[in-house]
């Protein structure tokens, strides 16, 4: 039995999320079905994080166990062949030790959120961004985000169905950039932490959007954080702008810098 790490890219629109569903399509289910084409039988893969319906993956990481001693390149090619036509791709593959785990060995997760600022409906970026019809002050949003850095009780930004044992998390970085993209001006949010609560990123972005359009002052972010009350949070923004952008490990299994 050999274990392989998989770096996975996917468009989240057709799926009910990462996690396998009995009667709905999922990214996990698509990959496990492809694995069954290579080695007949039931397969269960584990991932660094479970993304919700509509959320995309740029560099999700999962692992699988196989009887055959595949070379990573051949396994990647074979999986990509059997994943067609689903919008899922294995972009890298590596052999790892049997005790390596995509979720439990991870030391950080990185998310990106894309927010398009234009009145005309998105065409090429439809389903890939959250769109608002007004310009946002990204510097004001960055000032508000400062209050979220470090170790805090993030109850305000936690879904009511979150299954995490504790609302206390450490936010290592939040970077907000404005980008003059061909499809229109964007604000991109980059967040990094060891782990996140359910809907935490989307709740943070929805709150910071209020700051960006001038409805809230940057210091209001500190106020709602300290309230530890879900009712004080800004709106949870839609999932299509959210991307799992990367997962960090003590040693990169894919050998990248």
Q: How does pLDDT run across 32-75, given as a tens digit for each residue?
A: 999 999 999 999 999 999 999 999 999 999 999 999 989 999 99
List CB contacts of 81: < 8 A, sequence separation 6 or more. none
Distances in whole angstroms, Cα of residue 161 to Cα of each of 46, 48, 157, 165, 198:
21, 20, 12, 12, 8
pLDDT at 256: 66
Q: Any idea which residues carry the catalytic annotation? A: 52
Least confident of 122-126, 140-144, 242-246: 122-126
List CB contacts of 205: < 8 A, sequence separation 6 or more. 113, 115, 130, 189, 237, 241, 242
Segment 146-161 mean pLDDT? 96
Quick count: other Cβ atoms within 10 Å of Cβ 21? 14
In angstroms, rounded to a whole number, what is the distance separating the alpha carbons of residues 42 and 33?
9
In angstroms, rounded to a whole number, what is the distance separating the alpha carbons of residues 36 and 204?
39
Residue listed under structure tokens 């065409």? 123
For residue 13, give both structure tokens. Answer: 């629109």
Distances in whole angstroms, Cα of residue 214 to Cα of each of 62, 161, 208, 211, 218:
40, 30, 10, 5, 9
User: Is it true that 2-105 and 108-246 share their CATH fold?
Assistant: yes
pLDDT per residue as tens digits for the range 160-202: 888 889 999 999 999 999 999 888 999 999 999 999 999 999 9
Sequence spans of domains, the chain: 2-105, 108-246
CB 158 within 8 A of CB 200: yes
pLDDT at 257: 47
What is this structure's pTM?
Answer: 0.95
pLDDT at 255: 86
Average pLDDT, the chain: 96
CATH level 2 (architecture), domain 2-105: 2-Layer Sandwich (3.30)
pLDDT at 141: 98
Under CATH, what is the fold of the domain 108-246? Alpha-Beta Plaits (3.30.70)
Collapsing DSSP to helix, strand or coil, 60 comes out as strand
């Amino acid at each position: 039995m050999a274990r392989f790490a998989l770096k996975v890219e996917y468009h989240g629109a057709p799926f009910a999320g990462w996690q396998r569903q009995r009667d709905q399509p999922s990214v996990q289910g698509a990959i496990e079905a492809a694995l069954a084409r290579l080695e007949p039988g039931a397969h269960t893969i584990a991932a660094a994080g479970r993304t919700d319906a509509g959320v995309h993956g740029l560099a999700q990481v999962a692992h699988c166990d196989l009887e055959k001693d595949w070379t990573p390149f051949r396994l990647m090619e074979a999986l990509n062949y059997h994943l067609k036509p689903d919008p899922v791709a294995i972009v890298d593959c590596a052999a790892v030790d049997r005790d390596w785990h995509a979720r439990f060995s991870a030391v950080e997760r990185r998310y990106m959120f894309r927010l398009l600022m234009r009145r005309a409906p998105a065409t090429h970026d439809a389903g890939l961004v959250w769109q608002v019809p007004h310009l946002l002050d990204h510097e004001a949003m960055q000032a508000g985000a400062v209050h979220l850095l470090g170790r805090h009780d993030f109850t305000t930004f936690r879904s009511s169905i979150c299954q995490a044992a504790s609302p206390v998390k450490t936010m290592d970085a939040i970077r907000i950039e404005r980008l003059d993209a061909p499809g229109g001006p964007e604000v991109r949010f980059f967040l990094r932490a060891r782990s996140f609560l359910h809907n935490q990123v989307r709740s943070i972005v929805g709150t910071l959007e209020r700051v960006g359009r001038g409805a809230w002052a940057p210091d209001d972010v500190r106020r709602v954080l300290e309230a530890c009350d879900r009712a004080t949070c800004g709106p949870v923004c839609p999932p299509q702008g959210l991307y799992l952008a990367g997962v960090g490990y003590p040693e990169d299994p894919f050998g990248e810098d």
